[in-house]
Structure 1
Amino acid sequence: MSEAIRLVKRDELHKLLNLYKYLHEDDPDVTGNNELEGLWTGICADPNIYYIVADVEGKLVSTCTMAIIKNLTRNLRPYGLIENVVTHPDYREKGLGTKVLKEAVEIANKNNCYKVMLMTGSTKEETLKFYEKVGFERGKKTGFLISL
């Protein structure tokens, strides 16, 4: 099995969207949305947004998004925010999600971030242990959310 952990390519939008079907199965299909291409162009041009993927023989099977947020505290050091972590069900338990997250943390480190944050909506113990295995600490901070 040939695998690569890398940044998503501009022409892989539809592969990425196919993978996102396993993240929020009830999300609407946006492939026909007129705003999609313009939004994707803007995302690809933003130097502070990284889409990390696991590519197995040309198929995107795991991903997360890393946003680097500029900051006026902590000696002007930015922080990282990870979102949209998902691995295709057929490729779970193979270490690919771990590799994708570790690459995201490495990107934050290269950008001199003082911390990386990640929230999960999952309460499954195996999911929480997965994040801890990568180095995230449970209970270190308290998260709050307003869904809009």
Structure 2
Amino acid sequence: MNIPKSTNCVHLNIDSYHTMMNFAKENPRKEIIGVFFGKVCENGDITVLESYSFRVGRHTEVHFNDSDYEKILPIIKDCATRDLEWLGWFHSHPFKRGDHIYMSNTDISYQYPAQIQNPYWTAIVCNPHQIKDQSTSRGMRAFRLYFNPDELKLTTKVIELPLIIE
């Protein structure tokens, strides 16, 4: 099994950035959720080429619903015809005052089973209130869970990946 490194980068094209962040900006007081597709590069980096907004939740939570899985099937098929893989999900933490771009325990519980299936599965968390925060990539951060190579198992330890918006 090919395991990505914690130093691998996430390259996010500008159109996908705008899809994600504009959805978050349109819902500045509620969490949003969506998915993204792209390619795994030979060096283990991923390139996000398309993103799709799915749902608006409540102020402090959002979940995929059964109907979302029906909606995503034609997107998966279409992307597959263009050699794009489903590589992850995005959501927002739309809270003011402070740094809220992190993986919560709920987020980790979503990430873990997906990343077991696809070691390149990535989460992008955004906050429309932190776009100018210099410690973020224009209000976003990318995350994965740490794979312990010594024990050959996925952990619940969160690692932040370099996120490059292009």
Q: TM-score range by the shorter chain?
A: 0.3 to 0.5
Structure showing greater radius of gyration is 1
Q: TM-score, length-normalised on structure 2?
A: 0.30
Structure with the largest fraction of strand: 2
